[in-house]
Amino acid sequence: MLICFEDFSNEIFYEIFEFLDTCDIYDAFYHLNDRFRQIDIQLSLPYKINLDLISKMTFQDRCQYIITPNVYRIISFRLSNWFFINRFLLSYTLDSRFLHLESLTINEIEPEKVIPLLMNFASLPRLFSLSLTTIDRKVQDPNTIHQLILSLPVLKYCNTTMEWLHGNFTLLNLIVKSSTVEYFVTKSEYNLDKLSILLSYMPQLVHLSCKVYLKPVIHRAWKTITLNNLTYFHLKHCQGLNLDQFEMFISNLIHQLQILRISSTFQNDYLDSNRWKRLISTYLPRLHTFDLQHFEKLPSIDADQYHLLIDGFNSSFWIERKWFFAHQHYQYNNYFGVFFYSIRSNRYNLLLQCKSYSSEKTV
């Protein structure tokens, strides 16, 4: 017996719709016939709205027919492109009317619109996840932005990419009792002074992924902060941060790490296996994953010195923990380089544009 698609029961369509994006359901079914329109209306599924990669006409259509009548049903919202962001903010305010909004991603917003936007977020009772990326202009008031983000009442996950105007960027004297953030992922740059202050406001932190920049580190704001829940730390592109500074940072802030990932460049002390052995044994007794990626430009380091350093990672301390490393030589433009990395880590992050000229050798 031939069974048509429309012969399925409403219950089967309910299950299918739970796996589909709300806009896709609207495009595929809403205008098909009255039955599917009524299924959508009666079902009252939470809405997940994604307005990426659409035309102006589609954007207007989804605002008018999906978002406006169903603001209270939206639990996830993603919006990219400064043009659509501006158009959206002319018609909507992301405030308590978005009663069930739990996850919000806004990419390529103009920096001057960030603070007004964040001020409204305080009235979102269920905003657990926030991702914000600004277009390529510096944010004028980073202190206020951090104040507003850290004060969000139920925020658990925060992902930011912004370029700061560092002139008056201190992070001191923020009026924040204790942030609820547990996952903090950022491509924005901090020096260790600012990062240590920022972490002091996030005692519940579990996962940290960040970058540091080359401004001098003063240490005047550093204090002992026990992050009892922090188990994952990824320090990306720490060019200019020597191992002494990193060790001071670790000893003051982080005690329960299980996973440590570091990407470093042009700092030979990161290849000192004895320093790492002492640091891990002293401060990181729970560590079970150690991923190190280090780029070195030749001839800034002598080849014999380089091999003497990396041979230290072949001792019993590393083997017993099953932490193994490799290195690769390559040519990029007019210079030669060496990349030393944990075998389990993604070594291609720094090598995508590099021309390899020798085979890989395991240490």
| Calpha distance 242→237 (Å, rounded) | 12
Lowest mean pLDDT among 36-45, 75-84, 294-303: 36-45
pLDDT band at 362 (very low <50, low <70, confident <90, very high): very low
DSSP tag of 26: I
Per-residue pLDDT at 355 exceeds 60: no
Which segment of 61-70, 179-188, 221-230, 262-271 scores lowest on mean pLDDT? 221-230
Mean pLDDT on 236-243: 78
Q: Which residues in the chain belong to E strands, given as ranges?
A: 47-50, 74-80, 103-109, 129-139, 157-164, 183-190, 207-212, 232-236, 259-265, 289-298, 325-332, 335-342, 355-356, 361-362
Mean pLDDT within 194-208: 92
Tens of pLDDT, residues 166-179: 777 888 888 888 89
* pLDDT of res. 330: 76
Q: What is the DSSP string of 166-181?
A: GGG---TT---S----
Output Rg (C-alpha) for the chain, integer angstroms.
25
Q: Give pLDDT tens digits for 281-293.
A: 999 999 999 999 9
Q: Which of the two residues, 267 and 114, has the higher pLDDT score?
A: 114
Its sign, for the CA torsion 104, 60, 87, 134, is positive
Q: Interior CA angle at 322 toward 337 and 354, to 5°?
A: 20
Average pLDDT over the chain reads 84
Min mean pLDDT across 76-80, 125-129, 262-266 is at 262-266
Residue count of the chain: 363
